Chains A and B, each alone.
Chain A
């Protein structure tokens, strides 16, 4: 049984794809049941993934079908089953199943209901294909598929201009990263043995030994470039906060739990290569650290609940990159496993937080501005409790999931500073700075998460007014909307809170269950580059754990003081440091800077090109169309006067002329 599924891993992506196809084709008939084929498909894929997770040892890569086979390039549809893959598969399909169930309630009544589930099915197929593929080019194919689905889902409400713009922005920013990926593939192809881009070949010892150092640095850097776009790292993170324009389940599934982890996955997969380039590792850690800090600072002042979550996602992804970058020397396996572990736990609690925000938004009638509501803990007890559990996990309070994974990243950063000193003094200070910044960022995380939680669920009870311009009463009152005044603030339906509860349970236990027992590390060690060396022993880092937990608890308490009672203190502090507050509120003007540096010059160039097109090219084309018209109208049309004899005369004249030409030619 297990053997069968390991050898036919293609079933995992095909099941959601099939579900999506059924939803797409039969959407007209299925109507409100369109979620069924997709939910069933993804659920079955989850079961298969579970079988793979428990049953796989070592790695196998059965070939499903041959795809490209030309001279110098052989790309089979080959699916690889190893520790990293099965872990990712189980996580993705589990979260996707719950999100699909949640969305079946959340999206009810939307005119694009079948379309939504069709794209979700396609997305899950692409994502599982991405983590299953055994070949860089196959990865790239699914990488693009994931990008397309993300574009379609962000722009799901495409008649809304902001959603359309956000989708466009996400797609374009992702293209920048894809460009880096493509160049990396070309480069890799030209230097690899046998021009074979399968992971087995690329990460084989013989191949890695044959690469020049500058090749390794360049390719690693380009792969990291690709990852920054997909995983929303500085400077390409700008699309992720805007992607919150999509439906909330999409934000939970794609922009928190799965797609954004693709970049992390790619770097983790490429560990054997990147380990050889300490420069790139250091820059990965530095960029991750900077992104985490920047996003946390922005999240401090945002008033939109979903945006807070989006920036916290960016920040947490920054943590993962810090972990990936900390894998110096023989630390690699430990650091990367730490990062992947954080990815794993983060998927649960961030999906939970997004879905909980979604249910708040749902019951508030589409209002998501935290200043317009408050004190919801009595009205929405289940959402409140699950949100609280997710928040604690995100803050890194023991014993919730986030604590264990964040602690591993922090301790690997701590170790990295010693390790790189021992290895010959490469960037030890840098890693130390990153370590302390990360601890500070963790405290900031606790603060802004607490702020969001307390602003939403504590304080005097407030609901959006019925005449709120952003509120849509019809959206809020499913089943209640018959009355004269809309009912805001009811608890959501079971189909929505049951997934929340399951995810909350996971957010509490997965950290301790998988991290403390060492099961996670053991499971991943069959993947290339992730086997822990024999001489490496790691004990629980009490110092880091204590420091970070203390910081987080302090920040949590502070946020309770500031926001639970809605005191005047935050406003006073904001007034004291007004420029900084404004900068954070306006996201440090990054979008504006990009607008000036990138968008405006492009627009000027496009304007010039448009001018050239309209004035020069178009007139040239018009000329080409004008010539035959003039020629035909004035010269040829008079011949067509309808008189048969006229036509015959022209024929006779032509024959005579032709004869004369022939005679003249034969005489001369």
Chain B
């Protein structure tokens, strides 16, 4: 008996998956809104998932789908952390523009400015430095002391 899901069908799916991934990548590279970038990354994952499911169907086993479930979970984790980070970043600079976050560049490299009229966006004041803060378990280590002065 010939399987309906022929090798050519597999190639169809692979082409769609590749196209989805590539379009997602275009979005990731070209858009500046952090949320749209996040959506684009999810779209790349969709393309990959499609490829995996198609492979699993072609080979006649579940493995592709199991892998896709793993991808779904990873995507969920990514979504939770990415959105939390976006929230923090937005709190800092009141903007979702990814261009504002260039501090990790090599020392001495010029700041990338797309539009000279936008140059002042760099003058956002840095917020106070914070670290992830977990509910203390056991003996809490000594924190640096500080005093908050309010007028």
> Which residues of A come within 8 Å of B, CB atoms?
637-638, 640-645, 648-649, 652
- Interface stretch, picked from B61-69, B98-106, B123-131, B132-140, is B98-106
Known A-B contacts A648-B28, A649-B29, A652-B29; the reply to A640 vs B106 at CB < 8 A is yes
Are A645 and B105 in contact (CB-based, < 8 A)? no
Asked if B25 is an interface residue, CB under 8 A from chain A, the answer is yes
A638 CA to B110 CA, complexed, in Å: 9
Chain A: minimal CB distance from B25 (Å): 6
Taking CB atoms, residues of chain B closer than 8 Å to A641 are 102, 105-106, 109-110, 112
A276 CA to B104 CA, complexed, in Å: 82
Are B28 and A645 in contact (CB-based, < 8 A)? yes
Are A643 and B99 in contact (CB-based, < 8 A)? yes
Are A643 and B112 in contact (CB-based, < 8 A)? yes
* 13 intermolecular pairs with C-beta atoms under 8 Å apart: A640-B106, A641-B102, A641-B109, A642-B103, A642-B105, A642-B112, A643-B98, A643-B112, A644-B101, A645-B28, A645-B29, A645-B30, A648-B28
A643 CA to B104 CA, complexed, in Å: 8
Taking CB atoms, residues of chain A closer than 8 Å to B29 are 645, 648-649, 652
Are B25 and A637 in contact (CB-based, < 8 A)? no
Asked if B108 is an interface residue, CB under 8 A from chain A, the answer is yes
Taking CB atoms, residues of chain A closer than 8 Å to B99 are 643
CB closest chain-B residue, reference A633 = B108
Could you list 13 further interchain pairs (A-B, Cβ under 8 angstroms) beyond the known A637-B109, A649-B29?
Answer: A637-B108, A641-B106, A641-B109, A641-B110, A642-B102, A642-B103, A642-B112, A643-B102, A645-B28, A645-B29, A645-B37, A648-B28, A652-B25
Taking CB atoms, residues of chain A closer than 8 Å to B28 are 645, 648
A494 CA to B123 CA, complexed, in Å: 84
> Which residues of B come within 8 Å of A, CB atoms?
25, 28-30, 37, 98-99, 101-106, 108-110, 112
Q: Which 5 A-B pairs have the closest CB atoms?
A: A642-B105, A642-B102, A640-B106, A637-B106, A641-B105
Taking CB atoms, residues of chain B closer than 8 Å to A649 are 29
Chain A: minimal CB distance from B108 (Å): 7
Chain B: minimal CB distance from A414 (Å): 88
Taking CB atoms, residues of chain A closer than 8 Å to B98 are 643-645
Taking CB atoms, residues of chain A closer than 8 Å to B104 are 640, 642
Are A642 and B25 in contact (CB-based, < 8 A)? no
A642 CA to B29 CA, complexed, in Å: 14
Chain A: minimal CB distance from B26 (Å): 10
Chain A: minimal CB distance from B51 (Å): 15
Taking CB atoms, residues of chain B closer than 8 Å to A644 are 98, 101
CB closest chain-A residue, reference B99 = A643
Chain B: minimal CB distance from A646 (Å): 8
Taking CB atoms, residues of chain A closer than 8 Å to B108 are 637
CB closest chain-A residue, reference B104 = A642
Contact of A638 among B37, B102, B109 (CB under 8 A): B109
Most buried by B among A638, A642, A649, A652: A642
A154 CA to B109 CA, complexed, in Å: 59
A640 CA to B30 CA, complexed, in Å: 18
CB closest chain-A residue, reference B109 = A641
CB closest chain-B residue, reference A636 = B106
A642 CA to B98 CA, complexed, in Å: 10
Taking CB atoms, residues of chain B closer than 8 Å to A648 are 25, 28-29
A645 CA to B25 CA, complexed, in Å: 10
Chain B: minimal CB distance from A177 (Å): 58
A638 CA to B101 CA, complexed, in Å: 16
CB closest chain-A residue, reference B28 = A648
Taking CB atoms, residues of chain A closer than 8 Å to B112 are 641-643
A637 CA to B110 CA, complexed, in Å: 11
Chain B: minimal CB distance from A303 (Å): 68
A630 CA to B78 CA, complexed, in Å: 39
Taking CB atoms, residues of chain B closer than 8 Å to A645 are 28-30, 37, 98
Chain A: minimal CB distance from B72 (Å): 22
CB closest chain-B residue, reference A645 = B29
CB closest chain-A residue, reference B25 = A652
CB closest chain-A residue, reference B41 = A648
A644 CA to B28 CA, complexed, in Å: 10
A649 CA to B109 CA, complexed, in Å: 18
Taking CB atoms, residues of chain B closer than 8 Å to A638 are 109
A648 CA to B109 CA, complexed, in Å: 18
Taking CB atoms, residues of chain A closer than 8 Å to B110 are 641
A389 CA to B98 CA, complexed, in Å: 98
Chain A: minimal CB distance from B71 (Å): 18
CB closest chain-A residue, reference B110 = A641
CB closest chain-A residue, reference B105 = A642
Chain A: minimal CB distance from B14 (Å): 14
Contact of A640 among B37, B101, B109 (CB under 8 A): B109
Taking CB atoms, residues of chain B closer than 8 Å to A640 are 104-106, 109
Chain A: minimal CB distance from B98 (Å): 6
A637 CA to B104 CA, complexed, in Å: 12
Taking CB atoms, residues of chain A closer than 8 Å to B106 are 637, 640-642
Chain A: minimal CB distance from B68 (Å): 21
Taking CB atoms, residues of chain A closer than 8 Å to B30 are 645
Taking CB atoms, residues of chain A closer than 8 Å to B25 are 648, 652
A645 CA to B32 CA, complexed, in Å: 9
Chain B: minimal CB distance from A643 (Å): 6
Chain B: minimal CB distance from A630 (Å): 14
Most buried by A among B104, B106, B108: B106
Taking CB atoms, residues of chain B closer than 8 Å to A652 are 25, 29
A534 CA to B30 CA, complexed, in Å: 110
A638 CA to B105 CA, complexed, in Å: 9
Taking CB atoms, residues of chain A closer than 8 Å to B37 are 645
Chain B: minimal CB distance from A452 (Å): 73
Taking CB atoms, residues of chain B closer than 8 Å to A643 are 98-99, 102, 105, 112
Chain B: minimal CB distance from A648 (Å): 6
CB closest chain-B residue, reference A640 = B106
Chain B: minimal CB distance from A430 (Å): 81
Chain A: minimal CB distance from B99 (Å): 7
A638 CA to B109 CA, complexed, in Å: 7
Chain A: minimal CB distance from B52 (Å): 18
A268 CA to B71 CA, complexed, in Å: 87
Chain A: minimal CB distance from B32 (Å): 8
A246 CA to B106 CA, complexed, in Å: 58
A645 CA to B101 CA, complexed, in Å: 11
Taking CB atoms, residues of chain B closer than 8 Å to A637 are 106, 108-109
Chain A: minimal CB distance from B2 (Å): 28
A652 CA to B29 CA, complexed, in Å: 10
Chain A: minimal CB distance from B45 (Å): 14
A645 CA to B105 CA, complexed, in Å: 12
A226 CA to B34 CA, complexed, in Å: 81
A642 CA to B102 CA, complexed, in Å: 4
